[in-house]
Amino acid sequence: MGLFSSHANELRKAHRSLRDASRHSQDTPAGRVRRKAQRRISDEQAQRITEGYAAGKTVYELAAEFGCHRVTISAVLKRQGVTLRHASPTGQQVDEMVRRYEDGSSLARVGDELGFNASTVLDSVPWGGGLWIGVGSRVVINESW
């Protein structure tokens, strides 16, 4: 059989069909791949996840340890009533950031006092326009530019 003969094409199709058939179970419709069954997090695992997170592990580390997605870990922690680290500040916290910053505290100090990084404070505060100029650890808004 030559490379371009119809027999060679038929052989390739048959080979492909046999290869694909081994990927599919008999109870799934033709052409569909059987989905992996989702593992459920048991109560004991949820407790271990909560303890690991409290001990300082990240959601990424816990996801790798428990063989699931980081979003699953976050959902488990939220169901357990755990406040996630690096969560976005609430509106009330943003208002407090603005107040403390306007009172003269640096971004770093405001962040430390409220449990956020200085860059989170900078990203969260609605400055209302103007150009930000870094001066030491403070940001000056120059409205004249």
Range from 2-11, 25-34, 76-85, 131-140 carrying the lowest mean pLDDT = 131-140
Q: Percentage of the chain surpassing pLDDT 90?
A: 26
What digits encode the pLDDT tens for the residues 78-120? 999 998 887 678 889 889 998 998 888 888 899 888 877 788 8
Burial (CB count <10 Å: 0-12, 13-18, 19+), residue 82: middle
As a whole number of angstroms, the distance between CA 84 and CA 54 comes to 10
